[in-house]
A and B are shown apart, each in its own frame.
Chain A
Amino acid sequence: MSAPSQTPAAAGAASNTPSSTAPSASTTNADASSAAAALKPIQVKLVLLGEAAVGKSSLVLRFVNNEFQENKEPTIGAAFLTQKCKLDDKIIKFEIWDTAGQERFHSLAPMYYRNAQAAVVVYDITKAASLDKAKSWVKELQRQANPNIVIALVGNKLDLAATSRAVPAEEASAYATEAGLLFAEASAKTGDNVMDVFTEIAKKIPLEQLLASRGRAGASGASGAGAAGRVDLNAGPGGRNAPQGQCGC
């Protein structure tokens, strides 16, 4: 009996196949790699945001478990998953918060993007309105999240591009360049580009800086989504628990 959150690393090892395109990073089982065994994984907090039903959970499931489910039910609240990736000589452990897109959960979002090093803002290339929502998420992130956050704009459902595309790739790409975001179109259904998105994010995150700051954070217990943050949460209402109302919405 093992918690699902502990299994992804193993599942990830099996999931190398679909992303033959992935250039230098690949998901791998940390224990299997002897070179990596010496390295401590670098924890990266990543949050997925976007309108309801654009495929956030599907992208994560493709990335973590290499699965795809048709007609998935909406996510309730938020789901937490982890996945380890190897980038060059480092191991990155993505701690992924897959948030629900429904309006009523919007007010909870800060809890998830606070202290996140990366955000994936997803829209649906067959629904023009979903790009507008994505833009508003980007704005909110740029205003309120960690200033160094790496944001990727991802147009999902690329498999439907031929039949029902509503957002031209150029338009979204131009916006992404202008706003300083990573950009990709992907399909959780076929697996196209999914790995690449996470690889690009991993490359862009200032890992060295993160490692250095984590050393400090360990002392102060203030920042990051790493182990220090967890201990802190247990210890009591300080740090991240700051000023929040009783009511979640």
Chain B
Amino acid sequence: MPKPLSDSQQPPTSSRASSARSSQSAGQSPPPDASRPSDSPPEPPPQTRLDVGGRALVTAITATPAAANTENDVERGPSQAAVGTFGDVDCDFSEGLNNARTGPGWTNRRKHFFILSCAGKPIYSRSVAFLVYPAWGHHMVLALNRQYADALYDLRIICRYGDEAKLSSLMGLIQAIISFFASDDDSVRSLTAGGHTFVFSVKGPLYLVAVSSTGESVAQLRQQLSYLHSQILFILTSTQLTRIFDTRVNYDLRNLLSGTEMFLDQLARSFQSTPGFFLGSVQCLRMPARVRQKVAQALSVGNPQGLAFGMLLAKDQLIGLIRPKRHSLHPADLHLVANMIASSSGFRSGEAWTPVCLPMFNNKAFLHAYVCYVGPDLCVVLCSTDKDSFFGMSEYKAEIVKGLEEGGCVDGIDEALHGVPYSIVEVGVPSLRHFIVKSTPLVQYTQPAPAPPYTRKDDWRRLLQIYQRASEALHARIDPVSTYFYTGPAEAVLACTVGTLELYAAFGPLVSKTVAMDAINALARWARRCEDLLFLGSVPVLGSKQRSITPERLTGPTSP
């Protein structure tokens, strides 16, 4: 039975076996003394870390229900996994594992987000079907849980058919829980009932609640709630939000948010499918530095009045960016912009002009975003402080396009777009199944195209969830770890920090720690070698001398 490893000291036997395996599979020479991998010096940073901490290899797995049910995992895994079709909203799995009495409708919905106003008016409710890690499906259902389950089952229908009376009783319950603590000048942060974690977040006049049985930690759920809150600010600004509820405390915010449900939906879905949110970084299109330089030049050909940020995006990947001198674009803001573009196909039909609020830049006022597709997947976004500057932005876009064409970047970008997602084979580390490399100072990450088995949605989500937990362990406020190793029935994941890089790598379940460490070192070397190719290293600043590029970062590591 696979058990998570919780100790850095490897028993001599296993490491000898693993080093032998490593020499077979990877064809790499094992360290001279396999029982003490830290003595072999080829790539010091991670290995010294491995040696230094008795706490170096730590696991968070035991804290989740997963560990308790690993047998189920192994036995039921394949058959269970075969049942489902994993649409984001409708999927049909784990009926046998979950409590049947809660009805067929909601049992497969593992995570729910609610947003309500402080007066208890519902604002947003969304259930997210989550991955099937069958072990997590089995849980004790407490009384509260059962009530909640019934209420939720109703809720799904209510949300669709608008039965306000029923919805408000659940909202009332949430409101009551929050107020109960608030009356003691306290605030409820989270509570656990059986397999469900309830996370509460009070943000001004809004209450945000996440209910999850996915095994995600409180901190992760809180982060997701914070993204959802940012999304609402993106639409309304905090000024407006506060004003509305100051004047009419029982205002139904859905009036103002109508037509934007797709933003929130898209965001709630993205939490499960892209690592950018929990990594707090953006994915950058992999392309040669030469082309990148040209793109930067094309983006900074002028300094049109009002322009605050300009970006060139391909789907959710960043190609180029310009920013004002004293400000940087926070990845969270960039996520919101990319999320908006991904949410609506309407942007493809013409030039769009819409007010947006970038909460990390300024949550009190709107910028005005000019959005225009200049290629099949290539989108120019220009954020202006002047709401009448549409034509100015449109002309600037034409200049950018001209610059891109003159610089010969069009082919370069096309090539990069077609070459991405790239294959894991390029890295040349055979034992690797998948990886993510994040550059901490640049707040960017890169990953290869998911290869089988991660082309299947549920496998992919499971992997992301392990990465997510690894990321949490690396960044834990209390007792962060520098290396995280996890083995499960389907894969092993090793995560560690090497200098300014954060590496997450997936291996087969039987991989030894030595092989994994060797692979991750090779990966780190590869990432350093290709840094120019993988990451957007410098961002041109607006208003500086034309075509000069300062080595400024996308945003500093100090930002939260």
Contact = CB atoms under 8 A, between A and B. Distances in A.
Nearest to B237: A247
Given A3-B401, A4-B350, A241-B386, A103 B255 contact: yes
Nearest to A75: B346
Given A4-B348, A73-B262, A104 B256 contact: yes
A244 B388 contact: yes
A72 B374 contact: no
Interface string A41-75: 00000000000100001001100110001001111
A72 to B, nearest CB: 7
B364 to A, nearest CB: 8
A240 B347 CA distance: 25
B404 A1 contact: yes
A247 B259 contact: no
A77 interface: yes
Contacts of B343: 73
Interface stretch (A117-125, A192-200, A210-218, A226-234): A226-234
A72 B258 CA distance: 15
Interface string B372-397: 11110010000000111111101101
Given A3-B374, A73-B344, A244-B388, A81 B349 contact: yes
A234 B305 contact: yes
A237 B388 CA distance: 9
A39 interface: no
B61 interface: no
B84 interface: no
A77 B354 contact: yes
A233 B391 contact: yes
A247 B365 contact: yes
A185 interface: no
B89 to A, nearest CB: 15
B254 to A, nearest CB: 10
A230 B372 contact: no
A234 B374 contact: no
A1 B257 CA distance: 35
A3 B255 contact: no
A244 B410 CA distance: 39
A233 B389 contact: yes
Interface string A79-116: 11100000000000000001011111000100100000
B56 to A, nearest CB: 48
A111 B353 CA distance: 11
B344 A74 contact: yes
Contacts of B368: 248
A1 B354 contact: no
B238 to A, nearest CB: 11
B440 to A, nearest CB: 33
A78 B349 contact: no
Given A247-B366, A248-B368, A103 B256 contact: yes
Contacts of A3: 351, 372, 374, 397-398, 401
A146 interface: no
Contacts of A236: 305
Contacts of B77: none
Interface residues of A, number: 43
A10 B225 CA distance: 46
Contact of B388 (A4, A69, A75, A241): A241
- Which of B343, B349, B369 lies at the interface centre, i.e. has the most chain A CB atoms within 10 A of its CB? B349
A33 interface: no
Contacts of A241: 386, 388
A163 interface: no
B239 interface: yes
A79 to B, nearest CB: 4
Contacts of A64: 349-350
A76 interface: yes
A78 B344 CA distance: 13
Contacts of A100: 259, 354
Nearest to B380: A3
B349 A247 contact: no
Contact of B346 (A5, A57, A103, A233): A57
B240 interface: yes
Contacts of B260: 74, 76, 102
A73 B346 contact: yes
A209 interface: no
Nearest to B413: A1
Given A3-B374, A5-B350, A103 B355 contact: no
Contacts of A244: 387-388
B351 A80 contact: yes
Interface string B171-194: 000000000000000000000000
A38 interface: no
Contact of B374 (A1, A61, A79, A111): A1
A69 B346 CA distance: 10
Contacts of B221: none
B391 A78 contact: no
Q: For the complex of A and B, list the 3 residue pairs with the smallest distance between their C-beta atoms, beginning with the closest.
A: A77-B354, A248-B355, A74-B259
Interface of A: 1-5, 52, 57, 60-61, 64-65, 69, 72-81, 98, 100-104, 108, 111, 229-230, 233-234, 236-237, 240-241, 244, 246-249
8 contacts: A60-B349, A76-B344, A76-B347, A79-B351, A100-B259, A104-B235, A236-B305, A248-B387
Given A3-B372, A111-B387, A234-B304, 7 more contacts: A69-B345, A73-B344, A81-B351, A98-B350, A103-B255, A246-B366, A247-B366
